[in-house]
Structure formats: structure tokens, C-alpha cells
Amino acid sequence: MRTIDSLDVKGRRVLVRADLNVPLDGDTITDDGRIRASVPTISSLAGRGARVIVCAHLGRPKGKVAPEFSLAPVAARLGELLGAPVKFASDVVGESAQSIAEGLADGEVALLENLRFEPGEESKDDEARGAFADRLAGLAELYVGDGFGAVHRKHASVYDVPKRLPHAAGGLIVAEVEVLKKLTEDPARPYAVVLGGAKVSDKLGVIANLLAKVDRLIIGGGMAYTFLKAQGHEVGKSLLQEDQLDKVRGFIAEAGKRGVELVLPVDVLAATGFAADAEHEAVEATAIPSDREGLDIGPETRKLFASKLSDAATVFWNGPMGVFEFDAFSGGTRAVAEALIAADAFTVVGGGDSAAAVRKLGLPEDGFSHISTGGGASLEYLEGKTLPGLAALED
């Protein structure tokens, strides 16, 4: 992939596809991590005299204008981080966007309204998507892909626009790809992967692919209960995907054949219900009461997981160990994060809820080698899939 250093940007309009999909509480941004991650590329281009037009999505408005998904609060925060005003277009490719794009001076930055307000952005129809891409590309002379969290989507701004303009990868995408190559091509060993989150089905492909690459697979979170059930244990009212039991049994057998150490919880916090203040107690993972549900890994499992990470040379972590949004059930996720910080290893937090948990728990982001901005994109890369946005930049 070409990088932005290869582009002559001074005095030229550069369309930057960023990932600014941040959580909002009304107009308040509750986690600006993705905005901060986008700043270096935008700042570099503006500093070299580019006329920067940033485009991004927020939420799932499904091709319709929805004020609650406006990027206006993001424009304000981006301006604060850049230390200069960011002009905000009230549409994506309409009169406001065209006027602002044409009026930019060297070094100025603008942000377009939410790409997903336009049905063509996510359209499965190549012609409809292409027609929108034509209009979006028409705003600029150059294209920079820097929204790693969206590169696994075949969307107009990610896949079609770079086919219409001279293009390059931004610093964020370059950094993400370098990290993922370290995880897939020749990782330092022992190589441990920690997977959590709610559903096994979300991680089927990555588990299947990683079984051929890792030394140790540590399973926590809601998905662990399907593994425990597959081994014949009672899981009570815990999250369970019964339709995945056969596949999980296959994973367990394959791990055994390949000599991959599979580490499952030995105890869990079993609660009377799904609530922040639910009564709960630590019980053995093989004896969860039928009227309770596991909401976090227990204290013995936290010690076990930490010990299994202490000697690792490479660690990839994706997915919380419990319902970290509830303080009472955040201890498992904190324990894994702290174990990664303490490990003398190349540690990668695989975006999504894991990255959000690190910030919510107040842990130092520089305690990890890398925190990805793209959970889904990271997982699909590790599955070995071709990511449309990366393929378009490699052309």
C-alpha cells in the first residue's frame, strides 16, 4: 500500500475516510478514542497544506437522515483535538458539502455529515453504490483511507471511492496492518489469544483459523458457557448458544489434536439476574446453579488466566470477560487487562468492547503494545479474510 508520504497534497482537496463511530449520550461523546486515533493522519495532511475533507459514519441510520446520529458533536471534538476549527457540512454530497469543499483553504479541515445518511453508502447494488461513490469522489482530488474499523465493509466510501481517485493508506491503517501481520506471519512464542464477549458465533472463523497458529487459547465472557456446556457441564441461565455446541465440540477436539492449550474458566460469578446490583456468588464453573447466570469469571479464574499470560511473548485479546459495564462484574476484564500490562509481551487489544473496557476501567492505554480501533476488522483479518477496504488501497 502507498502511504500518505507518497502523495503531493499541498493545495489539493484530500478526502479522508476516517473511523469516527463513537458512542454518544445525546450530544455528549462518552469515548473519543477513535477520534483521537484519527488525528495524526488528518493533522499531518493539513500540516502539509492539504485541504482535508473528512468523511465517516456514526451508528446505523440505515440510509435515512436521523438527527441523533449527526456527526456535529464529532466535528466539535475533532476541532478541539486539532487545535483549529473544523468546518461541518450539513449533508454528505449536497450543496453544503460541495460549497464547503470548494471553499477550503490550504491546511483547513472539514467534516461531512454521516455517510450512512445516504442509502448508496451501504447499498448491495453495485450501480447504486457506484453512483454515490462518484458524487463523493467528485468532492476531492485525492483519497486517503484511514478508517480501519470499516475496512471489512464493501461500502462506497471504503471500497468504491479509492477506485476513482489516486489513493493511499493513512497512518492508522498502516499501523494496524503492521500489528496484525505480527500476529499472523511470525509471532513470538508462546502465543496466547484471549477471546471473550457474548457469542461464540461472532468468533467462529477466528477460532478456526487461530487453532493453527496459537499455543494457548483462553476463553472467557459469555461465550465460555457454550464451551462449558459442550463439555457436559450445567450452565444454569447463563448465555448459551445451543446451535453452536457441535462446532465448539469440534474446536475442543481440534485444539487437542494440535496441542493447543485450551483454558476455560474454573469458577464464575453466578448472579440471580442480569442487573448491576444482582445478588451473586463465586461458584465452580462446572457447578453453576440452575437458577443463576454467570456474569463474570471468578477470582480463581482471574488468577489462572493471569498465570497463563505471564509467560507469553505475544498476546491478542478480543472481548470482555464479563459484563464490565456493571462494576460488580468488571473484575474479570480488569484482571485480564492488568495481566497484559504486566506481561513482558507484545500485547494487542483487538478493538471493540475490549478497547472500550480499557478506557472505562481507567487503565493506561500505553500499557499495551497496541489498541486496535477496529474489532470486527481485526477479527476478519485474523480469520484470513480479504478485507475490501484494504484490497482497494493495495490496487
295 band by pLDDT with thresholds 50, 70 and 90: very high
| Cα separation, 95 vs 104, whole angstroms | 14
**What is the domain count for the chain?**
2
Decide if 360 is catalytic.
no
Residues 194 and 167 in one domain: no
Residues 95 and 132 in one domain: yes
For residues 243-251, average pLDDT = 95
For residues 297-303, average pLDDT = 98
- Tens digit of each residue's pLDDT (9 = 90 or more) over 190-205: 999 999 998 888 888 8
373 band by pLDDT with thresholds 50, 70 and 90: confident
Residues 164 and 198 in one domain: no
284 band by pLDDT with thresholds 50, 70 and 90: very high
What is the reported pLDDT for 307? 97
Q: For residue 31, is pLDDT > 90? A: no
Amino acid, res. 158: V
Q: 353 among the known binding-site residues?
A: yes
For residues 100-120, average pLDDT = 98
For residues 91-100, average pLDDT = 98
Decide if 213 is catalytic.
no
| Cα separation, 280 vs 297, whole angstroms | 12
| Cα separation, 170 vs 307, whole angstroms | 37
Look at residue 82 and tell me if it is in a domain.
yes
Look at residue 114 and tell me if it is in a domain.
yes
Greater pLDDT, 201 or 220: 220
Report helix, strand or coil for 357: helix
Greater pLDDT, 350 or 94: 94
Q: 325 among the known binding-site residues?
A: yes
Residues 297 and 171 in one domain: no
Catalytic residue among 12, 13, 17, 34: 34
Residues 102 and 152 in one domain: yes
**What is the number of alpha carbons within 13 Å of residue 101 lying toward its C-beta?**
27
Catalytic residue among 352, 374, 375, 389: 352
Q: For residue 84, is pLDDT > 90? A: yes
Q: What are phi and psi of 199, to 5 degrees?
A: -120, 135
Chain Cα centroid distance, residue 156: 20
Q: How does strand 24-25 pair with strand 28-29?
A: antiparallel
112 band by pLDDT with thresholds 50, 70 and 90: very high
Residue-wise burial string across 302-332, b where 16 or more C-beta atoms lie within 10 A, e elsewhere: bebbbebbeebebbbbbbbbbbbebebbbbb
Q: 58 among the known binding-site residues?
A: yes
Amino acid, res. 341: I
Residues 130 and 212 in one domain: no
What is the reported pLDDT for 375? 80
**CA angle, 202 then 208 then 210, to 5°:** 100
Q: 48 among the known binding-site residues?
A: no
Q: 318 among the known binding-site residues?
A: no
Residues 315 and 212 in one domain: yes
Residues 307 and 331 in one domain: yes
Name the DSSP class of 16. Answer: E
Look at residue 394 and tell me if it is in a domain.
no
Residue ending a domain, among 141, 175, 209, is 175
Residue ending a domain, among 123, 150, 175, is 175
Q: For residue 330, is pLDDT > 90? A: yes
Q: 294 among the known binding-site residues?
A: yes
263: enclosing H helix or E strand: strand 261-263
Look at residue 240 and tell me if it is in a domain.
yes
Q: 19 among the known binding-site residues?
A: yes
Residues 124 and 261 in one domain: no
Look at residue 110 and tell me if it is in a domain.
yes
Residues 155 and 227 in one domain: no
Output the domain CATH number for residue 156: 3.40.50.1260
Look at residue 137 and tell me if it is in a domain.
yes
Q: 114 among the known binding-site residues?
A: no
What is the reported pLDDT for 351? 72
Q: For residue 17, is pLDDT > 80? A: yes
Taking alpha carbons only, the member of 317, 107, 360, 88 closest to residue 221 is 317
Residues 297 and 344 in one domain: yes
Look at residue 337 and tell me if it is in a domain.
yes
What is the reported pLDDT for 166? 97
| Cα separation, 134 vs 20, whole angstroms | 22
Q: For residue 352, is pLDDT > 80? A: no
Catalytic residue among 199, 247, 303, 359: 199
What is the reported pLDDT for 359? 87
Tell me what the pLDDT averaged over the chain comes to: 95
Chain Cα centroid distance, residue 187: 21
Residue ending a domain, among 153, 175, 197, is 175
Please give the residue range of the domain that contains residue 229: 187-383
- Asked if omega into 190 is within 30° of 0 (cis), the reply is yes
Look at residue 296 and tell me if it is in a domain.
yes
Q: 280 among the known binding-site residues?
A: no
Q: How does strand 142-145 pair with strand 167-169?
A: parallel
For residues 5-24, average pLDDT = 96
| Cα separation, 101 vs 117, whole angstroms | 18
Q: 351 among the known binding-site residues?
A: yes
Q: For residue 119, is pLDDT > 90? A: yes
Residues 253 and 332 in one domain: yes
**What is the number of alpha carbons within 13 Å of residue 20 lying toward its C-beta?**
28
What is the reported pLDDT for 354? 87
Decide if 376 is catalytic.
yes
46 band by pLDDT with thresholds 50, 70 and 90: very high
Decide if 352 is catalytic.
yes
Beta pairing partners, 300:
none
